[in-house]
Amino acid sequence: MYSENFIKNYTLANLEKKIIELGYEKYRALQILNGIYVDRVQKFEQISTLPNTLKNILDDTFLINSIKLLKKRQSLDGSIKYLFQLNDGKSIEAVYMPWYDEHNGEIERITLCISTMAGCPVGCAFCATATLGLIRNLDTSEIIDQILFVENDLSIKISNIVFMGMGEPLLNYKNVINSIELLTLPENKLLSRKKITLSTVGITNKIKQLANSRSPVKLAISLHATTNGFREKIIPLAKSVKINDLMDSIEYYYRKTHLPITYEYIPFENFNDTFEDAKRLAKILKRVPSRVNLIPFNDISFTGVSGLSQTLKSSSKEKILEFGNQIKEFGGVVTIRDTFGTDIEAACGQLALKEG
């Protein structure tokens, strides 16, 4: 749902073209972006480098903000879930996650988990967003505004972005890649591409396309099973994306970008947490430089799910530790992830517009 009314839908090249069409010099586009992304103006009249005539045209032509806050909820662990309303009344969520230094207790980095869709079409059995289905893709402006809003709201600088909120980023490829281009444009002073992680269930042709783009970022592969049969049970889209094909695309991505790969894996009791799974997972991890994040399954019963989603049960903490050690024994690199925001339904897999 691309809207030409929102200025943040324009990359530098597209805005330069638009400004020329309006009868002004190309360099004015960079001045506009500087006002929006560096100075964080809320009105075009605040961009002092522009002539008044252009300010008036911009004011008549464009809107600066594409989302507004509906509600925010803070967790006991310091994370905050933001519920945003889009211009057409649809809603999305983003999650602020502060990471604390274990020695001095100070925040060492700040991660924002952002959405790329309202809802999601993939249908993963362990994800609350799947219960919404696909409502629509987000515009570039709606993706970026999640970041700018939280920074302005909390008066902080976000150090890392993860495309792990609502939606499958690679099924909204154009708007996601445009947002990455704007986020990593040096003049905008926002982020380097190595501070951005994109999570995907594995859209193989888009993984290769991203590898060949001007701004490839870190990839996190939502794997969750080591055999096609089990993966297809919990990720319906996996029926058309076999693990071997997925691995081929990941190897291509690494050869092109030299960025290490992260795998995301939720161990489910008596489903994908066996000794053989650990052995197969370690083999996958050694195909290119990679690590696996073992993530506890977060309850999504608040959505009223049924079927397999209702019967999936998280492996115990002890079993997850054992599973992780088995992977390490076979030569894999493992991290057991902390979970943010479970008390406010903001943890991994829990975003489903629940207001509490």
- The answer to whether 80 and 110 are in contact (CB under 8 A) is no
CB atoms < 10 A from the CB of 258, how many? Answer: 10
Query: What's the gap between Cα 258 and its chain centre?
Result: 20
Give the C-alpha separation, 13 to 24, whole Å: 14
Catalytic residue, candidates 113, 120, 127, 348: 348
Q: Which residue of the set 93, 142, 168, 345 is catalytic?
A: 93
111 phi and psi angles, rounded to 5 deg? -110, 140
Two structure tokens written together for 205 = 């042709």
**Other C-beta atoms lying within 10 Å of the C-beta of residue 300:** 25
Q: Give the span between the Cα atoms of 141 and 9, in whole angstroms.
A: 5
Phi then psi for residue 224, to 5 deg, are 70, 0
Rounded Cα distance, 66 and 88, in Å: 10
Q: How far apart are CA 197 and CA 214, in angstroms?
A: 15
Exposure of 290 in the CB half-sphere (CA atoms within 13 A): 27
Q: How far apart are the first and last CA of the chain?
A: 29
Active site residue 348: yes
- 228 backbone dihedrals φ, ψ, rounded to 5°: -60, -40
Q: Which of 292, 242, 297 is nearest to 266 (CA)?
A: 297
Q: Are 165 and 113 in contact (CB under 8 A)?
A: yes
343: tokens are 């008390």
Ordered alpha helix ranges (H), the chain: 12-21, 28-33, 52-61, 140-154, 173-184, 204-211, 228-234, 243-257, 275-285, 308-311, 317-329
Whether the CB-CB separation of 170 and 213 falls below 8 Å is answered with: no
Instruction: Please give the positions annotated as active site.
Output: 93, 348
